[in-house]
Amino acid sequence: MRNRLSILLLLLTFALCAHAETIILRTGARVKGTIVFQNEEVVIVRDAKGARFQYPRADVEDILSDDAVQPEEQAAETAEEEEIKTTKKVSALLEISGGSAYVPGVPAGASMGVDLIVGSHHIGSRHIFIGGGLGYHGMFMPDETKQYNFLPVQVALRMPLLEQKHAPAFGVALGYGVALSKNYLGGIYTGLDFGYRCQINKKTAIGAMFFAQFQQAKLKVTETVEEVEFVNETGRNFITYGAKFTLYF
């Protein structure tokens, strides 16, 4: 009976003394194992395979037991989860575009646009942006009397094809152009983007895209017949294309 009790006490003492620890070196490296000996000059550690490693005490930054390491790792995981949750909140997309504009029957001109879209930049585990916003688009034709400016009200989707820091990306948009010019009556438009996006961090990304936009709108056309002016409304197709810079923040 006494022998059994002695063996039990010995095993219990060994279990309490042989728990694993993590040695944090001044270089930042971490070594997991059981400390078999330590003093003011040296620390000797045995790993799970039984190999022993000796470190000068001056090179040891800290010694953590399993009980101390687990909360630290759990805190890191919690912080990562909180960071992901943060990215699910409202974020914004700024787009600045420029290129060419084409209207049938009119020489090609230039186009430019600025859009600010508010939405979510992180859906599930993907950096998918979806939202809605406003902006300014202008089409400037060689004839100074044919300038078409409108305020786009749109919903947009932007996403990378690969979930990597550097990845090709595409986007689609659907909106309505609210008239800002007296001879432009507005209309529905659609847009398609394709290009490259760089993910800087979980919240911020930049991109360079090629875009094409098609719009079917109405215009006021003034005609003079025998010195009498007539104003008619006519449908026109607008096509704009070019490049844009995007910033997610």
Q: Which residue type sits at 134?
A: L
Q: Which domain holds residue 224?
A: 88-248
For 8-21, how does the pLDDT look when each residue is reduced to its tens digit (9 = 90+)? 444 444 444 455 78
Above 60 in pLDDT, residue 62?
yes
Q: Which two tokens stand for residue 10?
A: 């010995």
Q: 64 and 174 in one domain?
A: no
Q: 57 and 154 in one domain?
A: no
Q: 115 and 105 in one domain?
A: yes
Domain of 47: which CATH number?
2.30.30.100
Read off the pLDDT band of 191 (50, 70, 90).
Answer: very high
What is the Cα–Cα distance from 177 to 118, expressed in whole angstroms?
A: 18
pLDDT at residue 147, rounded to an integer: 79
Least confidently predicted of 56-60, 149-153, 169-173, 180-184? 180-184
Do residues 191 and 200 lie in contact, with contact meaning Cβ atoms separated by under 8 Å? Answer: no
- Its pTM stands at 0.61
For 204-243, how does the pLDDT look when each residue is reduced to its tens digit (9 = 90+)? 899 999 999 998 877 666 666 666 666 667 777 889 999 9
What is the Cα–Cα distance from 198 to 209, expressed in whole angstroms?
A: 12
- What domain count does the chain have? 2
Q: Is 2 left (phi over 0), alpha (psi -120 to 50) or beta?
A: alpha
What is the Cα–Cα distance from 100 to 98, expressed in whole angstroms?
A: 7
Q: 210 and 92 in one domain?
A: yes
Q: 108 and 14 in one domain?
A: no
